Amino acid sequence: MRLFAALDIPAEEAEELHAWWETANVDFHPALWRDVPMRNWHLTLAFFGDVDGRDTDDLAEALADCASCYPPLQLAVQGFGAFPSLMRPRVLWVGVADGQASTTGSLMRLARCCRLAGRATVRKRSARDEPFRGHVTLARASQPALPIEAEVLQAMPEMPQLAWTAGTLRLIQSILRPEGAQYRILETFPLGE
């Protein structure tokens, strides 16, 4: 099973972000970019890849331990960008970070805990050990895309000021289909319990 750990984006904030993206994506041609359906939006903390079924319980147990060590997180939308870069974009995203100065680093520490849970249980490195960057994927390139020009970024409407409390960590299965990924929640872990 292809698994990852993630936090949800609440429906109200997802709707507002979707409304912004509908006006902001006019320069990202649909022949070149596939929007990720709003129902698939989430904040990935750790990607585990293919996990043997017998390791799933151990992974879930380790993630439950991570969730219990962190109180609900105050999160906020922060910036727009592309992976791997604006010059070679393959993924368009909106950033997500700690929403209060008093909780700075909490999101990164929870992500690190989830990645370490994957190493300890399924012995896999997460996200090729790249530094964690909290984000929601908005669109993926359907073919090699051109660099994103500064004028395009400047013409985008102002991003809404969105903040929310994330109180649940989820273990999710990603099922790849020709029409796009389908997600199935396997386990849910309340934060701080």
- Residues constituting the chain: 193
Neighbours of 189 (CB within 10 A): 18
Residue 91 CB partners (closer than 8 Å, separation 6+):
82, 83, 137, 139, 140, 141
**Residue 125: predicted pLDDT:** 59
Question: 178 with 34: CB under 8 angstroms?
Answer: no
**Residue 143 near residue 52 (C-beta atoms within 8 A):** no
User: With contact defined as beta carbons under 8 Å apart, do 39 and 179 qualify?
Assistant: no
Which candidate, 90, 124, 96, places its Cα nearest to that of 110? 96
DSSP for residue 172: E
Residue with the two structure tokens 């073919």: 143
Domains of the chain: 2-190 (3.90.1140.10)
pLDDT in tens, the chain (193 residues): 999 999 999 999 999 999 999 999 999 988 899 999 999 999 999 999 999 888 999 999 999 999 999 999 999 999 999 999 999 999 999 999 998 765 678 999 999 999 999 988 887 655 456 789 999 999 999 888 889 999 999 999 999 999 999 999 999 999 998 878 899 999 999 999 6
The rounded distance, in Å, linking the Cα atoms of 96 and 43 is 8
Nearest to 29 by CA among 143, 137, 135, 136: 143
The two structure tokens encoding residue 63:
């993630």
pLDDT attached to residue 60: 96
